[in-house]
Amino acid sequence: MPETMIEAESITKAFGSTLALRSVDLKVEAGTVLGLLGPNGAGKTTLVRILTTLLKPDSGRATVAGYDVIHDAVTVRAMIGLAGQFAAVDDLLTGRENLELVGLLYHLGSKERKLRADEVLERLSLTDAADRLVKTYSGGMRRRLDLGASLVGHPRILILDEPTTGLDPATRIDLWQFIEALVADGTTLLLTTQYLEEADRLANRIVVIDHGQVIAEGTANELKDQLGGNVLEVTITDQDQLEKAAAVLADLGHGPPSYDRAGGLITLATDGKAEMLLEAARRLEENGIALDDIGLRRPSLDDVFLALTGKPTEDLPGTADTRQRLDPSGVL
Amino acid sequence: MTVLDTASSGASTRQAPSHSVTFGMTLVDIGGITRRNLLRILRTPRLLVFSSIQPIMFVLLFRYVFAGAIKVPNGLYVDYLMPGIFVQTALFGGASTAVGLAADLQGGMIDRFRSLPMARSAVLAGRTIADLIRNVVVLVLMVAVGVLVGFRFRASPGSDVAGLALVLLFGYAFSWVFVTTGLLVKDPETAQVAGFLPLFPLVFASSAFVPVSTMPGWLQAFANVQPVSVTVDAVRGLLSGGAVEHWLWQSISWGVGIFLVFAILSVRQYRRL
């Protein structure tokens, strides 16, 4: 049986009258990546703060590497590396000084501290900037240094809270590669994100959380299978006919169609049979609606998320496969 | 279902914690955080310069604008004034403690420190010690400014050193009030303003700039017993070679009391952030 590195049982936490977490269960096996996925305010950060000993739950219990996060908090802290939502590095220290300070606080000896800082700087391609003050760093460099700081103590377990939020696409992909390399070395990773693409790429298993509750979990494929069948995608030529086309297709799917005006795109979860595709094409033709494209595809995590929460996730800015939405703001 | 429930269903719960923070580690942690904060002070020299200008303006204001209107019982007003200025400078310097901690909270530094296996008191102790060291530098500057405008040490060297040490230690004790403020308000701008609130009545309704006997009776009742007055009177006695015993004892009691109460409050607040 694989070793469980992170386990949460019935974790509940309220802030005043707001219930941030309602009886959340979670398990991460050694050497795997769990993606904790959910919209803003879902409770992801609260759960991370409990698992990293920063916050006490109201009830329930959590262990990290078998150690209780309340009773053995110091031991837990010695085993984990945390990179939070802010790049928590000191602007007025150099990159090297930041890492050596963290090494000192892990109680590494002075030689080991220097050696480890060099290793981490090298690993995160920051060697050239090592002796510059962090205030001269770009946003991506600060995030890399922050991730580096979480690696100084040789953690077996890494907890990253929205590591790429607010980064440009190229920097995000860089950071993903660093994270993948760490996982390849056997680090257990818990990652929170509001980006489906990130969870899809990095995580072995995904837990979807909304309003403080776990609403789905499984591998990316299992989650997609939960939706059943395939997704019908229709792109129409004349955007003024969008509502009409959606109405014509409505009873072919499992739920109401979602559409995107700017792209003239209609999306519908269906049973995915070929007859359905032919039926859709016939109905559109009968109603005189001209098509640019029609096809079936595997559901994306985006579709799963929409079906589960009734709201779309944040789109990754500038990535090719995400659909244009009516309101593409809110990420950067 | 309770957090005290140790019955384990999945992962094994190990019996004894294998890590704890020893006293030696605590000292190492305090040293590391102190060094970090001193580097920050050194790398913002403009802040140090501008924060020194304010007390210098106070010296000039009282020495040359108000001095003629203020009568002190015996001796020169400049000798009366400077001990008050020293104490005021040490106290006002503490505001940077509140601002610095609130900024660390907002920027996520405190979360990082709290997720490390370090002593929890070290972040606060390292902050106050760094600010104490900065206060030493500012005090030396203020002594130099005082001498330039006519202030003279009139006691034995030992007594003079004791007077300046009392200024620094009282300032250090009071910096824990600012630690508590910074942790409570959690944002640097509010911390800046909130930190000064308790200081104004304490510094101005005191014997720092004018004799308490010139105040209305009800105010005298407060001004005679409050910690800033007794400390200024003790420092004044030590630097002029006058009688101090009664004030010195009171000042030390206040300092120890303020330190204990606010250190406990702030460490408790830090734990439950």
> pLDDT value at position B261?
97
> pLDDT value at position B149?
93
Q: Tell whether the model's pLDDT for residue B206 goes beyond 80.
A: yes
Q: State the count of interchain CB pairs (< 8 A) between A and B.
A: 115
> pLDDT value at position B96?
86
Q: Give yes or no for B184 touching A (CB within 8 A).
A: no
pLDDT above 70 as % of chain A: 91
pLDDT digits (tens, 9 = 90+) for B131-160: 999 999 999 999 999 999 999 998 899 999
> pLDDT value at position A310?
65
Residue A239 pLDDT class (50, 70, 90 cuts): confident
**Which range, of A97-111, A218-232, B129-143, averages the lowest pLDDT?**
A218-232
Residue A261 pLDDT class (50, 70, 90 cuts): confident
Between A331 and B266, the higher pLDDT residue: B266
ipTM computed for the complex = 0.85
What does the buried/exposed string (b/e) look like for A207-235 if buried means 16 or more CB atoms within 10 Å of the residue's CB? bbbbebebebbeebeebbeebebbbbebe
Residue spans of the domains in chain B: they are 23-271
Q: Tell whether the model's pLDDT for residue A52 goes beyond 50.
A: yes
pTM (2 d.p.): 0.80
> pLDDT value at position A325?
34
Between B154 and A259, the higher pLDDT residue: B154
Q: Do B32 and A101 touch (CB under 8 A)?
A: yes
Q: Do A104 and B9 touch (CB under 8 A)?
A: no
> pLDDT value at position B205?
92
> pLDDT value at position B251?
95
Q: Tell whether the model's pLDDT for residue A128 goes beyond 90.
A: yes
Q: Tell whether the model's pLDDT for residue A226 goes beyond 60.
A: yes
3-state secondary structure B13-70: CCCCCCCCCCHHHHHHHHHHHHHHHHHHHHCCHHHHHHHHHHHHHHHHHHHHHHHHHC
Whether residue B179 contacts residue B261, with contact meaning beta carbons closer than 8 Å, is answered with no
Q: Which CATH topology does A229-298 take?
A: Alpha-Beta Plaits (3.30.70)
> pLDDT value at position B218?
93
Read off the tokens for A63: 């262990």
Q: Give yes or no for B15 touching A (CB within 8 A).
A: no
Strand partners, A295: A233
Mean pLDDT value of segment A298-312:
70
Residue A312 pLDDT class (50, 70, 90 cuts): low
> pLDDT value at position A256?
75
> pLDDT value at position B140?
94
pLDDT above 90 as % of chain B: 65
Per CB-CB distance under 8 Å, the chain A contacts of B43 are 92, 133
Strand partners, A214: A209
Mean pLDDT of chain A: 85
Residue spans of the domains in chain A: they are 4-224, 229-298
Whether residue A67 contacts residue A7, with contact meaning beta carbons closer than 8 Å, is answered with no
Q: Please tell me which of the candidates A59, A88, A97 has its beta carbon nearest to residue B112.
A: A88
Q: Give the three-state DSSP class for A123.
A: helix
**Which range, of A176-180, A225-229, A264-268, B246-250, averages the lowest pLDDT?**
A225-229
pLDDT digits (tens, 9 = 90+) for A169-222: 888 888 898 889 888 988 999 999 888 888 888 999 999 998 899 988 888 888
**Among all residues of chain B, which has the CA nearest to that of A69?**
B3
Q: Do A52 and B115 touch (CB under 8 A)?
A: yes
Alpha carbon of A76: minimum distance to chain B alpha carbons (Å) = 8
Per CB-CB distance under 8 Å, the chain A contacts of B32 are 101, 104-105
| A23-27, A293-297, B186-190: range with highest mean pLDDT | A23-27
Task: Give how far Cα B59 sits from Cα of A115, B82, B83, B208, Å.
Answer: 50, 8, 11, 12
Whether residue A24 contacts residue A10, with contact meaning beta carbons closer than 8 Å, is answered with yes
Task: Give how far Cα A212 sits from Cα of A39, A83, A125, A295, B175, Å.
Answer: 11, 21, 37, 36, 40
Whether residue B67 contacts residue B77, with contact meaning beta carbons closer than 8 Å, is answered with yes
Q: Which CATH topology does A4-224 take?
A: Rossmann fold (3.40.50)
Mean pLDDT value of segment A223-252:
81
**Among all residues of chain B, which has the CA nearest to that of A52?**
B115
pLDDT digits (tens, 9 = 90+) for A175-186: 898 889 888 988
Looking at A64-168, list the stretches that DSSP marks H as alpha helix, in order from N- to C-terminal side: 73-79, 95-105, 110-123, 139-151
Q: Tell whether the model's pLDDT for residue A36 goes beyond 90.
A: yes
Q: Tell whether the model's pLDDT for residue B12 goes beyond 50.
A: no
Q: Give yes or no for A88 touching B (CB within 8 A).
A: yes
Q: What proportions of chain A, in percent to the nearest 5, are helix, strand and coil?
A: 40, 25, 35
**Among all residues of chain B, which has the CA nearest to that of A53?**
B115
Q: Give yes or no for B22 touching A (CB within 8 A).
A: no
User: Best interface-test mutation with B: which of A72, A89, A105 has the largest number of B CBs within 10 A?
Assistant: A105
> pLDDT value at position A292?
87
> pLDDT value at position A129?
94
Alpha carbon of B87: minimum distance to chain A alpha carbons (Å) = 30
> pLDDT value at position A278?
87
**Among all residues of chain B, which has the CA nearest to that of A68?**
B13
Q: Tell whether the model's pLDDT for residue A323 goes beyond 50.
A: no
Residue B202 pLDDT class (50, 70, 90 cuts): very high
Q: Tell whether the model's pLDDT for residue B75 goes beyond 60.
A: yes
Per CB-CB distance under 8 Å, the chain B contacts of A28 are none
Residues 6+ apart with CB under 8 A from B125: B30, B33, B34
Cα–Cα distance, B145 to B137 (Å, whole number): 13
> pLDDT value at position A2?
65
Residue A311 pLDDT class (50, 70, 90 cuts): low
Please name the residues between 8 and 67 in chain A that touch chain B, using a CB distance below 8 Å. Answer: 9-10, 27, 49, 52-54, 56-61, 63, 66-67
Question: Strands across the sheet with A67-68, in order?
Answer: A18-29, A4-15, A59-64, A67-68
Residue B79 pLDDT class (50, 70, 90 cuts): very high
> pLDDT value at position B2?
39
Q: Tell whether the model's pLDDT for residue B8 goes beyond 90.
A: no
Per CB-CB distance under 8 Å, the chain A contacts of B3 are 56-61, 70
Please name the residues between 216 and 255 in chain A that touch chain B, using a CB distance below 8 Å. Answer: none
> pLDDT value at position A252?
81
> pLDDT value at position A243?
84
Mean pLDDT value of segment B227-247:
90
> pLDDT value at position A328?
34
> pLDDT value at position A318?
37
Q: Give yes or no for B46 touching A (CB within 8 A).
A: no
Between B68 and B40, the higher pLDDT residue: B40
Q: Tell whether the model's pLDDT for residue A273 goes beyond 80.
A: no
